[in-house]
Structure 1
Amino acid sequence: MKKASNKDIDEAWIDWALEMIHAGYESDNLYILAGISGPYNQFELQKLTDKVLVDFDLCYEDKLQVMRNYIYYLISSTKSEPSKYLSTLKEIKDICIDLDMEKEYMDFYLLYYAKDELNESEVQWYWDGADRTNIDIIIRNAFQDYLDKMVR
């Protein structure tokens, strides 16, 4: 996702490389990426991550599809963990902003602000009917709806 957005390569990429190795993926470039430590040289890391993506035939040219896949991954990996809802929503909210307020992600944008507001006060104005007692259920249902839509 970060590659499609032209973001800097950071420690999240190193973590990803380590996860890939633990999952059984192998390539010389992946091992090199997993072993890098800061400070990061963006020029070298951009070239290295390109090589890793080529090694595994991962295409990132279709930015919208990459974003959909990444959001699907985020949601599916945190759907059952309400303690991670706010951070997941924040990441999707940031993607929504990067994509000029893409309509497909506006519900998550609004849910982020509703959840964030409810962490600080009793009332929020972003999601009709949401309060501290039901916000996690609303988020879980929105996550499930998104996953269901993506599978169709």
Structure 2
Amino acid sequence: MDMDPFIDWAIEMLQFGYDTPQLLILAGLPKPTSFFETIPYVKGALNELRQEQRADDPAIVRLTGYIKEIAQDKDIEENLGELYVCYYGAYDKYYLLLDFFLLYLAWYSLMNSYSDDQNYWPGAKSENIRNIVVQRAKLWLEENNAFLKTVVA
């Protein structure tokens, strides 16, 4: 997976006035960079920026609905696909969805190959990917509970 767009994103975020330690490190990584070198800084920067997600964004309500359905083990592949499309189309805006983007790529890779090799989510195999996705959705809802109370009834 090409991680260079995340470096570009970090540079843009700094230009927009955001300034966090993980964002600075990410922006300073040399290109081309590897997934495994970059992803900890991407996740760290996203965690630092979490409070910046706009609560008045109407799309957050819809996106949270997909995550809630995944957490309830409903239509996982379909809901994960919706989150993937939203993230892929606007990763600079919906950075809270990074894990679901990566989980979709892992799911797709595992379901469309004859091996359990994928580079998107550590430890994910065809026999456990569904459980990993459901557990991550539950954890995401817990981690964002305070934020979601201001957005979703």
List alignment gaps of at least 5 residues for structure 1: 1-61
The residue type paired with residue 86 of structure 2 is I
Matching residue of 1:145: 139
Computed over aligned residues only, the root mean square deviation of the Cα atoms, in angstroms, reads 2.1
Partner of 2:76 in structure 1? 85
- Distance of aligned partners of 1:144 and 1:103 in 2 relative to their CA distance in 1, 3 Å threshold: same
- Deviation string, structure 1 residues 67-101 (Cα, Å, up to 9, x no partner): 2211111121242336x212111100111122235
Q: Distance in 1 between matches of 2:99 and 2:69?
A: 19
Relative distance call for 1:137 and 1:98 in structure 2 (3 A) is same
Structure 2 unaligned blocks of 5 or more? 1-53, 147-153
Structure 1 segment 49-128 matched on structure 2, within 5 A:
65-81=57-73, 84-101=75-92, 102-121=94-113, 122=115, 123-128=117-122
| Aligned residue identity for 1:73 | G
Contact 1:86 1:116 in 2 (8 A): no
2: CA distance between counterparts of 1:72 and 1:96? 13
TM (normalized to structure 2)? 0.52
Find the aligned partners of 1:108 and 1:72 in 2 and give their Cα distance: 12
Q: Structure 1 residues 117 and 96, CA, compared in 2 at 3 Å: closer, same or farther?
A: same
Q: Which has the larger radius of gyration?
A: 1
Q: Percent identity?
A: 22
TM-score w.r.t. length of structure 1:
0.52
Q: Secondary structure at the match of 1:132?
A: coil
| Deviation >6 Å, runs of 4+ | none
